[in-house]
Structure 1
Amino acid sequence: MGEKEDAKSNYAGVFEGRIGFGERPALIIIDMVEAYFDPGSPLHAGVEDTLAAAIELRAAARAAGVPVIYTNVVFHPSMRDGGRFAQKVGALANFVRGNAMGAWAKGLEPAEDELVVSKQYASAFFGTSLASTLTAGGHDSVLLAGVSTSGCIRASCVDACQHGFIPLVVEEAVGDRHEGVHRANLFDMNAKYGDVVRLAEAKEHFAQIARN
């Protein structure tokens, strides 16, 4: 690779495929809890625009009758169920059951009839019932929103692909604590595992489902 060759040029012709939207989507809102929005939290990411976009996306999904599923991270007070992940990232103690940092971000509280999948690791699929729930519901695709782009979004995107679901990452509705890390992970997910789509595209997809 030449010193002046950019990533897009380097990937050209190899990692340019698009899957497109599926026919039976579900919206997965990943870990949008106070830990990422409270300035006093060590996990604070400054992604308030991401929250606003996720709320907008959720409204479009609900209007179209598209199921909305939420994930959060919940640990036993002992943190034993956090394993090596908790050993690596001490700030995960903010997600011990009952900690205020685990509360839903303001404006994004789930409705009573919407599912919440609690997890202990990055992926929404690892060690959870999510794949079985989506399969039983006849879903072929997932639109992903939430935090963080480089962590739980990326892990969930890869696992969605590996479980046979089309992953669609909604660009404005995912966020990370560092813009460079955010952009690099969007680039790589779009190249290798799923499609990164704009909020307007995702909303139009939901609107089309509603019309049909």
Structure 2
Amino acid sequence: MPAQDDYKQRSYGEIPVGTGFKPGIVVVDFQKGFTEAQYPLGGAPLVMRALENTEKLLKVARDFDVPIANCNTAYMNEREMPYWKITAVRETFRRDHPSVELDPRIYDPDYDLLVCKKGPSIFFGTDVSDFFAKERVDTVIVTGCNTSGCIRASSIDAFSHRYRTLVPEDCVGDIEEQPHRDNLRDLGRRYVDVVDLQYVLDYLEDWHKTRSGA
């Protein structure tokens, strides 16, 4: 029997997370090191697709006054870093390197909360959860890269903080498609609802209408 059927028989993924009273969005690591092909980790097709779709999502979210937390990963020097096994991270993710700048297509400095994270999760060692607490967010939409690393970590932390967590498949990306698919499948079995951009846009539209009394 295929493994996925065995998971299903054991009740994995049976209960949807759903949506709550107020959404918030996290945008994980859409920095130039991942979105510009001139850098060693940049320009992966799935990441660029995610960037394009996240840009569409954020335009709507800002129009509807949805809280957005944006992050990059950057370090003072190698001494400050965790023990990354990725040479390109060790050599380029320095705070004075142009690769750590956020891609302007997804970052609005006059609107977004900006944090610089030091580990895989946008929540670890940052004030994102405090920001969402003040905003009374109970539903977190996770976007960014990479699915098998920082998206997975951020999604699990969102779950651990007791947020309803949505991961739109076409707003996250990875270097290779197989890890992207595998990690989304696994997250969807346990912690999050894996949805798509249109689902989230419809959710924000409905939330905005309810909030504005339309």
In the other structure, the counterpart of 1:183 is 181
Identical aligned pairs, as a percentage?
A: 29
Q: 1:156 corresponds to which residue?
A: 154
**What's the TM-score, normalizing by structure 2?**
0.91
Q: Deviations over 1:94-141 (max 9, x none)?
A: 220121111222422323132101111100111111112212221111
Q: Verify the 8 A CA contact 1:22 1:166 in the aligned structure 2.
A: yes
Please state whether the residue corresponding to 1:82 is helix, strand or coil.
coil
Distance in 1 (CA, whole Å) between partners of 2:134 and 2:165 is: 18
Determine the C-alpha separation between the residues in 2 that align with 1:11 and 1:179: 22
Contact map agreement 1:70 1:115 (CA 8 A) in 2? yes
- Tell me how far 1:10 sits from its aligned partner: 2.1
Q: What is residue 49 of structure 2 aligned with on the other side?
A: 49
Q: Displacement, 1:175?
A: 0.3
Q: Give the structure 2 partner of residue 29 of structure 1.
A: 27
Unaligned runs of 5+ in 1: none
What is the Cα deviation at residue 33 of structure 1? Answer: 1.0
Secondary structure of the residue that 2:114 maps to in structure 1? strand
- 1:89 pairs with one of 86, 89, 93: 86
Task: Please report how far the alpha carbon of residue 199 of structure 1 lies from its aligned counterpart in structure 2 after TM superposition.
Answer: 0.7
The one of 144, 148, 161 equivalent to 1:146 is 144
Take 1:149 and 1:115, find their aligned partners in 2: how far apart are those partners? Answer: 22
Between the aligned partners of 1:129 and 1:104, the Cα distance in structure 2 is 18
The answer to whether the 8 A contact 2:67-2:132 is kept is: no
CA 1:48–1:83: 2 relative to 1, 3 Å: closer
TM-score (norm 1): 0.91
Letter matched to residue 36 of structure 2: D
- Residues matched between the structures, number: 205
In 2, the alpha carbon distance for the partners of 1:109 and 1:133 equals 17
Distance 2:82 2:144 in 1: 23
- Segments of 5+ residues of structure 2 without an aligned counterpart are none
Deviations 1:6-52 (A, max 9, x none): 52x12214212211012111011111011112223221223221111
Measure how far apart 1:83 and its partner are: 2.2
Partner SS for 2:62: helix
State the 4+ residue runs in structure 1 displaced beyond 4 angstroms.
none
Shift of residue 90, structure 1, vs aligned partner: 2.3
CA contact (8 A) 2:72 2:101 kept: no
Q: CA deviation at 1:80?
A: 1.7
1:188-203 correspondence runs (5 A): 188-203=186-201
RMSD over aligned CA atoms reads 1.4
Cα distance per residue 1:57-108 (max 9 Å; x no partner): 10121122111110111100x2222122x3x222213220121111222422
The residue matched to 2:103 in structure 1 has which SS? coil
